[in-house]
Amino acid sequence: MRIMPLAPLCDPWINNNNNNEGKITDRRSLLHVVAGDSTDEHFGKRDSPISDGDASSTTEIEINDVAKEGEKANASQFELLKVLGQGSFGKVFLVRKVRGRDAGTLYAMKVLKKATLKVRDRMRTKMERNILAQIHHPFIVRLHYAFQTEGKLYLILDFLRGGDLFTRLSKEVMFTEEDVKFYLAELALALDHLHSLGIVYRDLKPENILLDSDGHINVTDFGLSKESIDSDQKTYSFCGTVEYMAPEVVNRRGHSTAADWWSLGVLMYEMLTGNLPFHGQNRKETMTLILKAKLSMPQFLSVRAQGLLRALFKRNPVNRLGAGPDGMAQIKNHPFFATIDWPRLLARQIDPPFKPTLTASDETHYFDPEFTRKTPRDSPALPPSATAHELFRGFSFVAPSILEEGRERHRGLLANPARMHIPEARPSSIHDEYEFKEDLGVGTYSVCKRCIHKITRAEYAVKVIAKSKKDPSEEVDVLLRYSHHANIVKLFAVYEDEVSVYLVEELCRGGELLSRIIAQRHFSEREAAAVMLKLANAVSYLHANQVVHRDLKPSNVMYASAKADADSIRIIDFGFAKQLRAENGLLMTPCYTAQFVAPEVLKKQGYDMSCDVWSLGVLLYTMLSGEAPFATGANDTPSQILERVGEGRFSLCGPTWANVSELAKDIVKRMLHVDPSKRLPAKQILVHPWIVQRNSLPAANLHYSTDPAKIKGAIEQTYKAIGCAANPVPLCPVNASALARRRRQHRPKSADGL
């Protein structure tokens, strides 16, 4: 057997001023590092690089993510069938979905107990969920749902019936070169996809490679992966399974995506020979071998296979095959892969060398019977620590494909309301707990009533939404997330039956803001500033979380207290509210938006935000003047109103405005600017001098001359006109247009009469 020399780079026992030894678990005689040594294990912290001339620091950024719209999952929707695996943190079950669009589908359910997870393990669990939520690739396991309970985390993944590659390798000892070529090619495509997203996988080994029912590979377990790494950047964590670590990971001088290509070489060597290239009696010896040992190259391997191994086992990552911007192209062009049709492989059009033999009666044939013989039981979990609640905020997720199919089902649900289900709804009937009283308001899709809790006798408002007219899922979701804000109406409970959804909300006893003001016929500029401060604060909070209200008309601003003080201002009716989401289903946050959302979506969201500000401007104009800015009364036609709105035509003159400060006029002009891009954002309203200096504004009442009924009529006409304009106009043939008819009537004739 010929010996191939590999030059060492450095001594692995260099002092790096870190006394925390990584925790190791011995599994299959392999050393799996489950705790890193460097500070980059903590999200949002900057890596602490060890001095290295080529090293560059990088910042790891947490994705502030979460959840989805549409159908929400919980543990009760899954039937436990068998145990697929078990570890110190939890179990993996084979489950069947019993409710929802995908009822009957088999999944793998990974259940982790929060109380047994150390802080780093919790971070890695959330990292795995974040990464899986981003990725959709034919050779990477797919996350379908993620949710949590008080004590547990649940990841619902593809159930891959072929088991893991290690199980097959342990049975066959080694694979043929043709088999290895196929698996390596699919793995290379998966790794390249991860690298293109700035993700270093860092835990490539046979146990983390699963086979689906057709025999194609699926990479799984992203708990040790690292995000936000460019091809020329490095990270300094010390983690992974020691035997598969690249030299630059072992010596802790910083590693990049090139480390995964070394691990691919280790996996290739193991599949071809049945042995690991570097495997000592203990951790220290194994690491020394990785850095210094000569590699034994079996002579029964083909020249092309040996050449690929040598190219992958370059101790200098810069020279390693796969490193650099054209690394994947170099791998594809290597002679070992000469017979691979890469486009067909990516399209899964090449038959795998091994197709699992499966029967409906034995779905777990390729899983360890040590686990599958156990009775599937999701045991109770210990209560988690207080910090676990914040750490796992936003863990929930539903796959984009499920969301997309959910959108296609929307019309069907409206046509058949009994099929619509709100997961947050309580199982009991609302009529068992509340007495319904008089109507408070009637809208297009809903009616609002006063109700009384039968036991506590507390009064609430209940919004009754007809399922046949509107899907309230988005409204419920937004209120559950954001109604804790002081100036947003509180949502206390959700109920449903076959025809309606019931939202039990805070009862606003003070009535509508504008109705109360114009009924009093006087309001001071100082009071108006105090009200606008509360409203702008709430809208700014919503916009910061990428939520737009889209229906901020005066009737949706109310006083919670009968005293009608500014602190009791509430924004109500989120029926048209919208939460911006990326294509992968994650909620958008300020630091996450630009990378994942198309420009036209951002532009639309920015437009919607500016419309919210415009609505606040209309309200402020009316509070200061007792008049509507774009309508003079209920008799104004929609076309007249829209013309004024479109031209930004409103007046800041007249007897009423003579007593209004210049700062107030300035903020009104900025909020009602005709160009949405030049309109004042909600967060800038809060720092406008008129708001900042509100305590020094005039306290004298601004007397309104216009009749209150006329003011309300003008405001209602304004929003009605805008609502009509938002509806799409049915298109007719071009020759049916008024312009075409005029052209036919006045078409000039030529001298010859043609």
367-411 pLDDT, tens digit per residue, is 656 555 666 655 544 444 444 444 434 444 444 444 444 444 444
| pLDDT higher than threshold 90 for residue 174 | no
Query: Strand, coil or helix: what is 301?
Result: coil
Q: What is the pTM of this model?
A: 0.45
Task: Tell me what pLDDT residue 340 has.
Answer: 95
Which residues, at least 6 apart from 550, have a Cβ–Cβ distance to it below 8 Å? 576, 577, 578, 608, 611, 612
Confidence bin at 304 (pLDDT 50/70/90): very high
For 2-36+48-58+164-346, CATH gives 1.10.510.10
Which pLDDT score is estimated for 142?
85
Do the two domains 2-36+48-58+164-346 and 75-159+360-398 of this chain adopt the same fold?
no
- Name the more confident of 236 and 399: 236
pLDDT category of residue 15 using cuts at 50, 70 and 90:
very low
What are the start-end ranges of the H helices in 579-707?
Answer: 593-596, 599-625, 638-647, 662-671, 682-685, 689-692
- Please, what is the average pLDDT of the chain? 74
Is 551 assigned a catalytic role?
A: yes
Q: Any idea which of 57-66, 148-157, 618-627 has the lowest mean pLDDT?
A: 57-66
Q: Please name the residues in contact with 196: beta carbons below 8 A apart, sequence gap of 6 or more.
A: none
pLDDT of 504 reads: 95
Mean pLDDT of 343-364: 77
pLDDT score of 751 more than 70: no
Q: Which helix (H) or strand (E) holds 63?
A: none
Report which of 386, 384, 474, 402 is spatially closest to residue 149, judged by C-alpha positions: 384
> What residues contact residue 744 under an 8 Å CB cut-off, 6+ apart?
none
Q: Tell me what the mean pLDDT of segment 580-592 comes to.
A: 46
Q: What residue numbers does the annotated binding site cover?
A: 84-92, 110, 440-448, 463, 467
Q: What confidence category does residue 362 fall into, taking pLDDT thresholds of 50, 70 and 90?
A: low
Which candidate in 164, 192, 203, 221 is catalytic?
203
Q: Return the C-alpha torsion angle 639, 643, 644, 645, nearest 10.
A: 100
Q: Answer whether 321's CB lies under 8 Å from 330's CB.
A: yes
Region 156-183 average pLDDT: 85
How many Å is the maximal CA-CA distance in the chain? 105
- Across 83-97, average pLDDT: 78
Identity of the highest mean pLDDT range in 523-527, 545-549, 582-586, 666-670: 666-670
Q: For 75-159+360-398, give the CATH class.
A: alpha beta
So where are the chain's domains? 2-36+48-58+164-346, 75-159+360-398, 421-505, 522-726
Binding residues for ATP: 84-92, 110, 440-448, 463, 467
Assess whether pLDDT exceeds 90 at residue 181: yes
Please state, in angstroms and rounded to a whole number, the distance separating the CA atoms of residues 133 and 122.
17
Q: Does residue 675 carry a catalytic annotation?
A: no
Bridge partners, 674 (sequence order): none
**What is the per-residue pLDDT for 9?**
40
421-505: CATH topology is Phosphorylase Kinase; domain 1 (3.30.200)
Looking at 65, 551, 612, 636, which residue is catalytic? 551
pLDDT of 630 higher than 50: yes
| DSSP conformation class of 357 | -
Domain covering 522-726: architecture = Orthogonal Bundle (1.10)
Most confident of 314-323, 409-418, 510-519: 314-323
